[in-house]
Structure 1
Amino acid sequence: MNRYLQSIGFPPKFEDEKPFDLLEGLSPTVAVEQRTTRIFNPRSTVGTKTRLYNLLRMLYATEGKLVCPICKEPVKENLECDICGMVIERLEIKHFSFNEPSGMCLACKGRGYQMHLTEELIVQDYNKNLMQITKAGSAVFADQIRFVE
């Protein structure tokens, strides 16, 4: 028992531990070392690497309780709200995946962050036109800029 407690980060509590013939119901432990890897996938997390994320998705889909998005009341087995009559879609594993359109945040597309342009940083002086802003002789974007009157 002490070894199990140590493996999940707790100090041993039993000084005079008696030997066990069988222990049941203990969850497996996972040790995760923090290190930099060459993974460029923003959706790769500790949960996805250890496959715990898949187990959580399965748990949420099978044991999750549906709530009506309109009146916030629990929805029964028939998937229809008793208060407002709205029919709710059954929870599936895909609803808890940030790689699936039905489960990802549509604003960030499952990445966990959004990219925005800050207009104040791009256009610092509204009194100048594009030709006045660029440095004299700078032709970096000259072939990509078209002036329309």
Structure 2
Amino acid sequence: SLFLFSKFVRDKKVRIGVLIGLAVLGIFVLFYRFEALKDLSTGFGIFKEAPIQETQPSSFNDLWKAFSISLFLIPLFFLRFYPNRTSISDFLVLGLILPSLYMIKTWTRFLFIGSMAIALMAGIGVVELYEILKPQLNERK
């Protein structure tokens, strides 16, 4: 039927819209008709119950217990992105940091995995702050 439909309708946007509509309709019919697929969509009943504490989003209390003062050193990391100081390695580190921060936000279980990103951000931030303040500290000597 899609082949015949494509012969009569030449507009590509209309064809794509009809295809997406039929796909969504087909998925709804499959879930309505077959009970086993309903269990599959809920993770075989795993996600019907209240979630355990580890699968809750991280609260500020969880973050404070895990990282304490390092949380306040994180903004210093962005001192690294002055136009003259950026390098390829900064973006590689961002490739580790961004997914780790997302994981920390999503589940409390990932606080340990994301701790490396927090430590990197805090450590690099402190070093960058030192590099900025070093000329002023040398003047005082």
- Do they superpose with TM above 0.5? no
More helix by share: 2
* Higher normalized contact order (CA 8 Å, seq sep 6+, divided by chain length): 2
Q: Which has the larger radius of gyration?
A: 1
- What TM-score does the superposition give when structure 2 sets the normalisation length? 0.21
